[in-house]
Amino acid sequence: MKTVLITGGSRGIGSATMQKLVDTHKILVVSRTPPSFQHPHLTFFPCDLASRKDTERLVKQLEPKQIDAAIYSAGIGIFQCLESIHTDDVYRAFHINFFSAALITKRLLPVWKTRKQGHFLYLGSVAGTKYTKQNTLYGSSKAALQAFTRSLREECRTANVQISFVELGMCRTSFYDPLEFCPKKEPLYALDPKDVADFLYSSFFTFPLLGVEEITLQPQKHGIEKKRPFS
Ligand SMILES: NC(=O)c1ccc[n+]([C@@H]2O[C@H](COP(=O)([O-])OP(=O)(O)OC[C@H]3O[C@@H](n4cnc5c(N)ncnc54)[C@H](OP(=O)(O)O)[C@@H]3O)[C@@H](O)[C@H]2O)c1
């Protein structure tokens, strides 16, 4: 049975993906809070990916030989004008959205390259290619992740290690809980995390030879609702 590491497997898209895979794979979930249910194939690695120290502790714990694929779903959104964002949050966004993925990848990569097998899947955002007000921090963290995967793919091409990047549009998850806006309530304005998980499963786990490099998943309609007036 193959083993898949999922950061951000406790909620949202990571959790939906974990639930899709857990009967047929061993799953290592990395997040601060444990997944909402237990399963014999599930192992929880508590880690605050906003902390360099905690992430480095986690990275040392991982056994690259025992992991076959890694899905990076942990992420936070901070949408404010730059001068309103606390300095700690600038670091927090980049630690969770970018550095944690880079450090875990760096740990797994040498072994995966040697054995010529492995699949990294990164969840990005359409915000990474949109240059709009209040997207400065989040958009740049996801743009950094996308640029990282584009060069990494070239480093890995001859080693048969796959690098996939999924650019997501709005998806109805707890991502919006701390934010001042959310997708409009009607179903077509946001993806369902279960649909995203089904898509990831069929594209990346049913057809491993397909070699999906980058793909965009968007809801049919675009529109947000303000929960409170924007600051
Ligand atoms: N939802 C959208 O509309 C949307 C759109 C584009 C891209 N994305 C991207 O898709 C990915 C998944 O988002 P989602 O919608 O599933 O978000 P979500 O429901 O808010 O889930 C986020 C996950 O990240 C984990 N996480 C957050 N902070 C963490 C920390 N400090 N340390 C460890 N884990 C942490 C959370 O676990 P704990 O809280 O338990 O730590 C949770 O499992 C993210 O990378 C996001 O940027 C989402």
Per-residue pLDDT, 231: 52
**Is 218 contained in some domain?**
yes
Report how far ligand 1's centroid is from the alpha carbon of 112 (Å): 26
What's the pLDDT band for 229 if we cut at 50, 70, 90? Answer: low
For residue 92, the model assigns a pLDDT of 98
| Inside any domain, residue 82 | yes
The CA distances from residue 185 to 91, 146, 167, 169, 224, in Å, are 32, 29, 22, 15, 9
Q: Has this prediction a pTM greater than 0.95?
A: yes
Whole-number Å distance, alpha carbon 215 to ligand 1 midpoint, is: 19
Question: For the chain, where are the alpha helices, taking DSSP H only?
Answer: 12-21, 52-61, 87-94, 100-115, 136-156, 193-200
Q: CA 114, CA 154: separation in Å to the nearest integer?
A: 16
60 domain residue, yes or no: yes
Is residue 213 within 8 A of residue 153, CB to CB? The reply is: yes
Residue 95 lies in a domain: yes
Smallest Cα–Cα separation from 127: which of 144, 139, 136, 137?
A: 139
In a domain, 231, yes or no: no
Residue 208 has pLDDT above 80, yes or no: no
Q: Total domain count for the chain?
A: 1
CB atoms within 10 A of CB 5: 24
Asked if residue 28 lies in contact with residue 8, where contact means CB atoms within 8 angstroms, the answer is no
- Residue 165 phi, psi (nearest 5): -125, 125
Cα(54) to centroid(ligand 1), Å: 17
**Which residues constitute the domain of residue 16?**
3-226
Q: Is residue 166 part of a domain?
A: yes
Q: Classify residue 196: in a domain, yes or no.
A: yes
Query: Which residue lies with its CA nearest to atom 33 of ligand 1?
Result: 31
Residue 132: pLDDT over 90: yes
| Residue 146 scores a pLDDT above 70 | yes
Q: Looking at per-residue confidence, does 211 or 62 come out higher?
A: 62
Pocket test for ligand 1, best of 52, 73, 141 (most atoms within 8 A of CB): 73
For residue 35, give the CATH number of its domain. 3.40.50.720
* Minimal-distance CA residue to ligand 1 atom 1: 171
Query: Domain for residue 14, yes or no?
Result: yes
Q: How far is the CA of 109 from the centre of ligand 1 (A)?
A: 23
**For range 64-84, the mean pLDDT:** 98
